[in-house]
Structure 1
Amino acid sequence: MRHLRALCAIADTGSLHQAARRLGVSQPSLTTQLRRIENTLGAELFRRERTGCRPTLLGRAVLSRARPLVDGMTALVSDAKAEAEAVRASGPRLRIGCTASRVIGGWLRRLRLRLPGTDISLRVDVSARALLRDVGAGGLDVAFVHEVEGCPLTVPEGLEQRVLLDREPQFISMARDHPAAARPVVDLADLAADRWMVDPTVDGEWDGLRRVFDEAGLAPTVLHGDYLTAASLIVLGEAVAPCQPTSGPRDDMAIRPLRDDPLAVRLLLVSRPGLDTATVYGELEAAYREAARRAAGYHQWLLRNRSPLARTP
């Protein structure tokens, strides 16, 4: 359905740029997505012209089948949400959104213990912008998101923010037998000859990495794909990739910090107005501490940088 919605948005707006804005994604990621769809079908669906994108004959045929499916799915989701809202109306609820994070499991476990009887739901999305829009529109109560350094997020007016960590360094995952894995800290230049894997659908991910490469004067080969695929390539020595510092140890993979921490994100908890976030934030912070302690390399980084998150409360 995500692919079909993308095709309909491109056709409706006649522009990859406008379609990307409507969908809440970056234009490069939408272009990559369209290219994948066309490669799968073996033919172009849109002609790229100076005035915009025009459906080809095949594109019009695909769109004629796609629109009823997209409309039907939209109606189904809307009806299902309405019924779910009615079911949950009799008790307290907490609707959480989150970008991918190693702390989600511990956070949910803690919340369920602290808030018995509360209906807690979770939505994980690659797009922090989409989650923030949903909090602003009332579809979510709170969202835990990461903001890539140099690629600021726009938080809808009226929402409340709490910063969990102003600057979380991004570590690098590589094969266990990679030459750089022998050192506790890796220089970016040591990875210049490697292929880097990045997921362009994650808001700010590719732009942030490209900025770091430009500042270092490097131009390594970049592969676009999801991080599940990246893991399988990394263990074979076919790629390296940024990763969260809370990533746990693996026998077939090494995770190392970069010297001077050129890659970083800011961790934010954003909530709707009037929501009492004391418990939600407190349990998030505790879950993050737990995850950091389990990742020995990151815990040492927090201690070196005198972060309060390194201390046991």
Structure 2
Amino acid sequence: MQLEFRHLRVLLTVAEAGSIRKAAARLQLSQPATSAQLKRIEGELGGPLFVRSAEGVKPNENGQYVLRCARDLVVGFDRLREYARGAGEADSGAALPLRAGGTAGPLVSLLMSALFELVPGNGVTVDARRSVHALVKALGLSKCDIAVFGEFPGFPLPVGESVAARTLLREPVFVLLAEDHPLARRERVALHELADEEWVMPEADESGVHAYLHLTCRAAGFTPKVAHVTPDLSVAQMLVAGRRAVCGVWPSADVPARGTVLRPLVDVPFHRRLQLAWNTASVPAELAGAVGDRLLAEYLALVRQRPEYLAWWEDGGEGFALGADR
């Protein structure tokens, strides 16, 4: 068998899926056909690349090296294809819309509001993603032109050489509590006071959100008990209202829900940096600067619509959020 480019995608799919059965479903092949193809690829590359077990498959040492090379080749090919398509469309005189992106939440709507004012006509499209890693990858591959997202301290996202970024502000994490929780009577809550609580969290992803929680809580003297995982804020709110969990939330979001209260944490132990990033090949620096200024203005207007957040902002929070060291 002669190794072809499509075989690299098979290897990457198997590695990402963690099992031949799941990989076969993604590749729209039968499990026996996928297994046989994988064995032929391994034979061409000199031997097994994965360790098989009842739990699935994991790359061995040789497989890890091959997969790193495969990813580099696939990314390079995708960049080549996107460049060629973009060049062809530019040569044909077609007007390309500005492709904006972000992770689901209020930040995307703020970005779109800014772009609608600054980019004339119907020259903007939007792609809101759940995964910030997928968003950043799209920027690096020139599949997205400009995006807004959050980045946790100590967990930088690889935006790529062709991407520039600007930190707009530092956004704190507040804690969502049941309205009858003893700590709900406080104006602010110390992180160590949540040591015995169970937490509800979004699903773990490449942003490092779970690792960030664990590291920060350990610095406060305890290990957090993550008892519930859900991407749905309404489910998290229900668990909090029922005194089954506490939850960290962004005060820019539309919370709290009925039966819950929002409280800032003492000394802002948790925060994220709100980043505006753009592909320098498709977004002029002047436009990026204007979008950033407008986006920040839109965010400050949103702060004034959130009473708990506005109180924190006016009680010294503005200096933290907009300080020179952000």
**TM-score > 0.5, shorter chain as reference:** yes
Counterpart code for 1:288: Y
How far 1:225 sits from its partner (Å)? 2.4
Could you say which residue in structure 2 is the equivalent of 1:38? none
The correspondence for 2:16, drawn from 16, 19, 41, is: 19
Instruction: Name the CA distance, whole Å, in 2 between partners of 1:308 and 1:193.
Output: 28
- Write the mapping of 1:133-148 to structure 2, written as runs, cut at 5 A: 133-148=137-152
- Write the mapping of 1:285-300 to structure 2, written as runs, cut at 5 A: 285-300=296-311
Structure 1 residues 177 and 215: alpha-carbon distance in aligned structure 2, compared to 1, 3 A threshold: same
Could you say which residue in structure 1 is the equivalent of 2:271? 264
Could you say which residue in structure 2 is the equivalent of 1:244? 250
Count of matched residue pairs:
252
Instruction: Name the CA distance, whole Å, in 1 between partners of 2:222 and 2:102.
Output: 32
Instruction: Name the CA distance, whole Å, in 2 between partners of 1:201 and 1:57.
Output: 20
- Structure 2 spans left out of the alignment, 5+ residues: 1-7, 23-48, 58-80
Structure 1 residues 236 and 119: alpha-carbon distance in aligned structure 2, compared to 1, 3 A threshold: farther
- Please identify the structure whose Cα radius of gyration is greater: 2
Matched, 1:162 2:166: yes
Could you say which residue in structure 2 is the equivalent of 1:69? none
Could you say which residue in structure 2 is the equivalent of 1:178? 181
Instruction: Name the CA distance, whole Å, in 1 between partners of 2:13 and 2:144.
Output: 31
Could you say which residue in structure 2 is the equivalent of 1:125? 129
SS at match of 1:103: helix
The correspondence for 2:196, drawn from 186, 193, 197, is: 193
Structure 1 residues 232 and 305: alpha-carbon distance in aligned structure 2, compared to 1, 3 A threshold: closer
How far 1:235 sits from its partner (Å)? 2.0
Could you say which residue in structure 2 is the equivalent of 1:226? 231
Structure 1 residues 56 and 13: alpha-carbon distance in aligned structure 2, compared to 1, 3 A threshold: farther
- Cα shift readout 1:222-265 (whole Å, capped 9, x = no counterpart): 12222433222122221111111213343332111111111111
Matched, 1:214 2:212: no
Query: Sequence identity of aligned pairs in percent?
Result: 27
- 8 Å Cα contact 1:99-1:145 kept in structure 2: yes
Structure 1 residues 174 and 114: alpha-carbon distance in aligned structure 2, compared to 1, 3 A threshold: same
Counterpart code for 2:153: E
How far 1:55 sits from its partner (Å)? 6.5
- Cα shift readout 1:151-176 (whole Å, capped 9, x = no counterpart): 222221121111101x3211111222
Counterpart code for 2:270: L
Structure 1 residues 113 and 273: alpha-carbon distance in aligned structure 2, compared to 1, 3 A threshold: closer
- Cα shift readout 1:59-97 (whole Å, capped 9, x = no counterpart): 9xxxxxxxxxxxxxxxxxx9xxx8xx97xx744522111
Structure 1 residues 13 and 90: alpha-carbon distance in aligned structure 2, compared to 1, 3 A threshold: closer
How far 1:270 sits from its partner (Å)? 0.8
- 8 Å Cα contact 1:91-1:118 kept in structure 2: no
- Structure 1 spans left out of the alignment, 5+ residues: 1-8, 21-29, 35-50, 60-77
What's the TM-score, normalizing by structure 1?
A: 0.68
Matched, 1:278 2:285: no
Structure 1 residues 177 and 11: alpha-carbon distance in aligned structure 2, compared to 1, 3 A threshold: farther
What's the TM-score, normalizing by structure 2?
A: 0.66
SS at match of 2:106: coil
- Cα shift readout 1:140-196 (whole Å, capped 9, x = no counterpart): 00121111122222221121111101x321111122222111111011122222210
Could you say which residue in structure 2 is the equivalent of 1:93? 97
